[in-house]
């Protein structure tokens, strides 16, 4: 049975991760403005729109959809849902990711054309950003546009052949991330799984008429992001490191 340790690093409820996303406002080759289509293999993702408007385009085994976004909208989707944000103007989102630490450790694969998904080395060569600060923007946009090329091909192939084309993409994505899985498991065990086990321990204690976990209660605070303006897949990210003790 899991027992709470006061020395354990603080974490947000449920082991989620949060960041403030300002969606890219640079036009793509298809005439739309926005981010890079990609998929998560182990983590679900949620959006709370805090400003602006736009849409999220998604492709999963149920097909393609475009969901409008405006201030106050909440949407979320499962692992395996390819997604692309479209910025209709000033789109800012509080992003919520399950399994904090896994997305940061690489739980995302971009929808590159097939020739860039043959192996991990080829994929990383096509997706690694170069430069620092604003000088990184051109490589971020080149990466986005390459992923959009692959996304358009996936959509067309899905329309013609059905969900089997996604199975091929998923298989390639799994091959790319497999070397990371031992690290992902460690992060999950120390994060989201640990917190779920602590809840189980608290319920066991309450059933026994005890509550030792209440004696270690405290408030945790993140006064500001730990990093501002990081070039993410969908836009510029203000990142909160939820793994550090408050």
Domain residue ranges of the chain, discontinuous segments joined by +: 15-210+218-239
Cα(146)–Cα(127) distance, rounded to whole angstroms? 9
* CB contact set of 113 (below 8 Å; sequence gap of 6+): 146, 149, 150, 153
pLDDT of residue 241: 84
pLDDT of residue 11: 83
> What topology does CATH give the domain 15-210+218-239?
Jelly Rolls (2.60.120)
pLDDT of residue 10: 66
pLDDT of residue 242: 76
0.85 surpassed by pTM = yes
Q: Are residues 67 and 155 in contact, defined by beta-carbon separation less than 8 angstroms?
A: no
Element at 236 (helix H, strand E): strand 235-239
User: Could you tell me whether strands 63-70 and 45-60 are parallel, antiparallel, or unpaired per DSSP bridges?
Assistant: antiparallel
Structure tokens at 128: 């690694």
pLDDT of residue 95: 97
| Residue ranges for the chain with pLDDT beneath 50 | 1-8, 244-246
pLDDT of residue 9: 56
Cα(78)–Cα(60) distance, rounded to whole angstroms? 9
Tens digits of residue pLDDT in 156-200: 999 999 999 999 999 999 999 999 999 999 999 999 999 999 999
């Amino acid at each position: 049975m899991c027992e709470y340790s006061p020395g354990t690093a603080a974490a947000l409820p449920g082991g989620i991760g949060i960041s403030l996303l300002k969606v890219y406002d640079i036009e793509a080759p298809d005439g739309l403005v926005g981010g890079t289509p990609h998929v998560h293999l182990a983590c679900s993702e949620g959006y709370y729109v805090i400003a602006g408007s736009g849409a999220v385009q998604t492709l999963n085994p149920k097909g393609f959809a475009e969901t409008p976004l405006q201030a106050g909208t909440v949407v979320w989707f499962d692992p395996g849902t390819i997604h692309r944000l479209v910025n209709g103007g000033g789109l800012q989102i509080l992003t919520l990711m399950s399994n904090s630490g896994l997305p940061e450790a690489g739980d995302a694969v971009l929808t590159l054309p097939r020739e860039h998904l043959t192996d991990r080395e080829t994929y990383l060569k096509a997706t690694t950003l170069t430069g620092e600060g604003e000088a990184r923007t051109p490589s971020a946009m080149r990466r986005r546009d390459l992923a959009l090329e692959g996304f358009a091909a996936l959509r067309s192939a899905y329309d013609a052949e059905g969900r089997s084309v996604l199975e091929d993409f998923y298989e390639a994505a799994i091959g790319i991330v497999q070397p990371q899985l031992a690290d992902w498991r460690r992060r999950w065990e120390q994060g989201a799984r640990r917190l779920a086990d602590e809840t189980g321990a608290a319920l066991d204690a309450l059933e026994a008429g005890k509550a030792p976990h209440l004696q270690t209660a405290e408030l945790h605070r993140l006064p500001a992001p730990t990093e501002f303006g990081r070039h993410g897949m969908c836009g510029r990210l203000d990142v909160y490191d939820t793994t550090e003790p408050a």
